[in-house]
Amino acid sequence: MNLETIIHPFEPVFDSNSKVLILGTMPCLVSRKNNFYYANPHNRFWQVLSAVFDESLPYTVEDKKQFVLKHGIALWDILQSCEMSGADETTIKKPVANDLTKILTGSNIKIIYVVGDKAFKFYKKYCQKQTLIPAIKLPSTSTANQGRFPLNVLIDKYMVLKTGRPAEYTL
């Protein structure tokens, strides 16, 4: 297995009005090249958020930033650096967590969601002691997860971002 050292290449998105923090694990290669979160066109993150908030799909980085900020959402990733093979999160070695203090002190975060199983495990292991905020796990929006979570189920699960109430489905 060929591991590559990856250093998180871009800043979090948040402002003083952000109430919800969504954390991934580490940006994939496409996201790193495009310098923004969930930039792989096959990832369903932006499609899901557009459906949840009944808005047009944002395409540019600036549109995506404005979209999440408009809805009180902050975006970042749990890891500041790691070694990983490709986009396979199961190969992550030597993880180093981001310091979430920057977001928590510069916003009004009340709830933290993590995207996917691996992010949830890393959050519990490396971040929860710092934040003192238990995270809620949301399913991954990756196409690798579409068999387990079709688009309509993802939208139902992510509706909690709008309603504050979790969907009836269980993870």
Give tens-digit pLDDT for 142-159.
888 777 899 999 999 999
How many other CB atoms are found less than 10 A from the CB of residue 101? 10
> What does the pLDDT read at residue 167?
54
Percent of the chain at pLDDT > 70 equals: 96
> What does the pLDDT read at residue 169?
39
Cα dihedral 35, 135, 79, 29, rounded to 10, equals: -40
**Domain spans in the chain, listed from the N-terminal domain onward:** 4-163
pTM assigned to the model: 0.93
Q: What is 4-163's CATH number?
A: 3.40.470.10
Please give the average pLDDT of every successive group of 10 residues along the chain, which has 171 residues: 90 97 93 93 96 97 98 97 86 95 94 95 95 94 85 94 65 37
> What does the pLDDT read at residue 166?
60
- What percent helix, strand, coil does the chain show, rounded to 5? 35, 25, 40
> What does the pLDDT read at residue 171?
37
Which residues neighbour 162 within 8 Å (Cβ) at sequence distance 6 or greater? 52, 53, 71
